[in-house]
C-alpha cells in the first residue's frame, strides 16, 4: 500500500492541542511499521482511472488496483478574490502543520501585539482564545449577524460573543468584511481595512473563511454532487475500485434520507474505516452494513467545551444557565422536528452527559412538550 502526501501527515483539530506538543501523532516510522509505503513531498498531477494509473509532478507513474481519494480540502484565501494587500507577511491561514508552526512563531515574536481574526467560525473562535491566552489583543471581524451561524442559534451565539467580549477582552465587529490590508516597509501587515471604512491595527492576521474540497484532479472522471465526489454508503465512487473519503466525499446520510458532504475529523476517520472495510469485504466476497453516520462537532476554548450531535433543524428549545458570568456555565439546545429530537448541543457537559446527548440525537425520542423539555434540560437525555 502506498500513501502520497504533500507534507508529513498531521492533524489540526485544535491549534492549541497540536502545536508544540512534541511530535506528530503518526510519525513516518509508524507507517513503515504497518507495512505502508509513505511517499512524502510528491504531488499527483494526473489520474487515469481507466488505466488505473497516477502520474506525479516528477514524472513517475504509479499503478494501483484500488484507489482511495483522500485529498481533503484547500483553505480559501483572500488572495483568491484579489483582496488588496492579502499577500502581506503575517497573514495566516490554518490547514497544514507548517501553517500552525509559522503562526506559533509569530505569536511568540509579537507578544503584547494586536491581532485581527477574519471570520467567525471554528478558526475564529478557537484562535481568538489562543491569541488572548498568549497576551495578544484580539479583534474578530465577520459579516454574519452572529458567530458560527451554520450551527449556532442566535441564543447560543450570544453567550459565546458576550463571554469572549466581556470575560476575555475580545473585540467583536459584525456585519462587515476585510476589504484590504496595508503593510510596513518589511512587507508585514500593519493595518486591516474594513468594508465599512474602519481601519484596524494588526501585527498578526488570521483568516478563517472556509475551505473547498480538492476534487480538481478527478473532474469529469467521477460523478460529483454538492461540491464533492459522489459515493455510495461504502464510499465507492461511480468508477469501479475507486473510493473517496473525508472532506471530498458526498455520501448518503442514512438517518436523514439525504446526501451530504461533511468536513470534520470524526467523519474523516470513520469514512476511511468504512471504505477499508468495504474493500476487504469485496475481496473476501462478504458484505458489511451501510455507513450510518451521526453528525458530530465539538470545540474547546478558554474554559469552555461544547459538543453537538445530530441535525440542527426544526424548532430550537434552549435550557440551562447561559450567563457568561457564571463560574461554570452549563446550557444546551434541543432541535425538535416532527415532534422528535433531531439534534442536541451541550456546553459544559460531563462525559456521561455528552454520551447521553449523542444517544438522544441517534434514537430521536419523542418530545412533544417543549416547555417540559426546557425544564428537564440535559436530564431528558440522561434518562433515555
How do the domains of the chain map onto residue ranges?
A: 2-72+214-284, 78-209, 303-382
pLDDT in tens, the chain (384 residues): 444 444 443 443 344 434 444 445 678 888 889 899 888 889 999 999 999 999 999 999 999 999 999 999 999 999 999 999 999 999 999 988 889 899 999 999 998 999 999 999 999 999 999 999 999 999 999 999 999 999 999 999 999 999 999 999 999 999 999 999 999 999 999 999 999 999 999 999 999 999 999 999 999 999 999 999 999 999 999 999 999 999 999 999 999 999 999 999 999 999 999 999 999 999 999 999 999 999 999 999 999 999 999 999 999 999 999 999 999 999 999 999 999 999 999 999 999 999 999 999 999 999 989 999 999 999 999 999
Q: What is the pLDDT of residue 24?
A: 52
The CATH number assigned to the domain with range 78-209 reads 3.50.50.60
Give the span between the Cα atoms of 17 and 229, in whole angstroms.
31
Q: What is the pLDDT of residue 31?
A: 87
Give the span between the Cα atoms of 24 and 172, in whole angstroms.
34
78-209 matches 303-382 in fold: no
Q: Which of 306, 382, 376, 370 is nearest to 337 (CA)?
A: 370
- What is the Cβ-side half-sphere exposure of residue 55, based on CA atoms within 13 angstroms? 10
Query: Residue 199: how many CB atoms within 10 A of its CB?
Result: 11
Give the span between the Cα atoms of 79 and 283, in whole angstroms.
46
- What is the Cβ-side half-sphere exposure of residue 15, based on CA atoms within 13 angstroms? 30
SS (HEC) of the chain: CEEECCCCCCCCCCHHHHCCCCCCCCCHHHHHHCCCEEECCCCEEEEECCCCEEEECCCCEEECCCEEECCCEEECCHHHHCCECCCCECEECCCCHHHHHHHHHHHHHCCCCEEEEECCCHHHHHHHHHHHHCCCEEEEEECCCCCCCCCCCHHHHHHHHHHHHHHHCCEEEECCCEEEEEECCCCEEEEEEECCCCEEECCEEEECCCEEECCHHHCCCCCEECCEEECCCCCECCCCCEEECHHHEEEEEHHHCEEEECCCHHHHHHHHHHHHHHHHHHHHCCCCCCCCCCCEEEEEECCEEEEEEECCCCEEEEEEECCCCCCCCEEEEEEEECCEEEEEEEECCCHHHHHHHHHHHHHCCECCCHHHHHHHCCHHHHCC
The CATH number assigned to the domain with range 303-382 reads 3.30.390.30
User: What are residue 330's DSSP bridge partners?
Assistant: 321
Query: Quick one: CA torsion of 71, 361, 148, 168, rounded to 10 degrees?
Result: -110
Q: What is the pLDDT of residue 26?
A: 75
**Residue reference for cell 490547514:** 95
The CATH number assigned to the domain with range 2-72+214-284 reads 3.50.50.60
Per-residue cell: 180: 484590504
Per-residue cell: 319: 435550557
Q: What is the pLDDT of residue 25?
A: 64
Q: How far is CA 343 from the centre of its chain?
A: 18
Burial of 372 (0-12, 13-18, 19+ CB in 10 A): exposed
Per-residue cell: 116: 485581527
Amino acid at each position: 500500500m502506498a500513501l502520497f502526501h504533500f507534507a508529513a501527515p498531521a492533524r489540526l483539530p485544535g491549534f492549541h492541542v497540536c502545536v508544540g506538543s512534541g511530535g506528530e501523532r503518526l510519525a513516518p516510522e509508524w507507517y513503515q511499521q504497518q507495512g505502508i509505503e509513505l511517499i512524502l513531498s510528491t504531488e499527483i498531477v494526473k489520474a487515469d482511472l481507466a488505466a488505473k494509473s497516477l502520474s506525479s509532478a516528477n514524472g513517475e507513474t504509479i499503478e494501483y488496483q484500488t484507489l482511495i481519494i483522500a485529498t481533503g480540502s484547500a483553505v480559501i484565501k483572500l488572495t483568491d478574490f484579489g483582496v488588496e494587500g492579502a499577500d502581506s507577511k503575517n497573514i495566516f491561514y490554518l490547514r497544514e502543520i507548517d501553517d500552525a508552526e509559522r503562526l506559533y512563531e509569530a505569536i511568540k515574536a509579537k507578544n503584547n501585539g494586536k491581532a485581527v481574526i477574519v471570520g467567525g467560525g471554528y478558526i475564529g473562535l478557537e484562535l481568538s482564545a489562543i491569541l488572548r491566552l498568549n497576551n495578544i489583543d484580539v479583534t474578530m471581524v465577520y459579516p454574519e449577524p452572529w458567530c458560527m451561524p451554520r450551527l449556532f442559534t442566535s441564543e447560543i451565539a450570544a453567550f459565546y460573543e458576550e463571554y469572549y467580549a466581556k470575560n476575555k477582552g475580545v473585540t467583536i465587529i459584525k456585519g462587515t468584511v476585510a476589504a484590504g490590508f496595508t503593510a510596513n516597509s518589511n512587507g508585514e501587515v500593519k493595518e486591516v481595512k474594513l468594508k465599512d471604512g474602519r481601519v484596524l491595527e494588526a501585527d498578526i492576521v488570521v483568516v478563517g473563511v472556509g475551505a473547498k474540497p480538492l476534487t480538481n484532479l478527478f473532474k469529469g472522471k467521477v460523478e460529483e454532487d454538492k461540491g464533492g465526489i459522489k459515493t455510495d454508503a461504502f464510499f465507492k465512487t461511480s468508477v469501479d475500485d475507486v473510493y473517496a473519503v473525508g472532506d471530498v466525499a458526498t455520501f448518503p446520510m442514512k438517518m436523514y434520507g439525504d446526501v451530504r458532504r461533511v468536513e470534520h475529523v470524526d467523519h474523516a476517520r470513520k469514512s476511511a474505516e468504512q471504505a477499508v472495510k468495504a474493500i476487504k469485504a469485496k475481496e473476501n466476497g462478504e458484505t458489511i452494513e451501510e455507513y450510518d453516520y451521526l453528525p458530530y462537532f465539538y470545540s474547546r476554548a478558554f474554559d469552555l467545551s461544547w459538543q453537538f450531535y445530530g441535525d440542527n433543524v426544526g424548532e430550537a428549545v434552549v435550557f440551562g444557565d447561559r450567563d457568561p458570568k457564571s463560574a461554570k456555565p452549563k446550557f444546551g439546545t434541543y432541535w425538535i422536528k416532527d415532534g422528535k429530537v433531531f439534534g442536541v448541543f451541550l456546553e459544559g457537559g460531563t462525559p456521561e452527559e455528552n454520551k447521553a446527548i449523542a444517544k438522544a440525537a441517534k434514537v430521536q425520542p419523542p418530545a412533544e412538550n417543549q416547555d417540559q423539555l426546557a425544564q428537564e434540560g440535559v436530564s431528558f437525555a440522561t434518562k433515555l
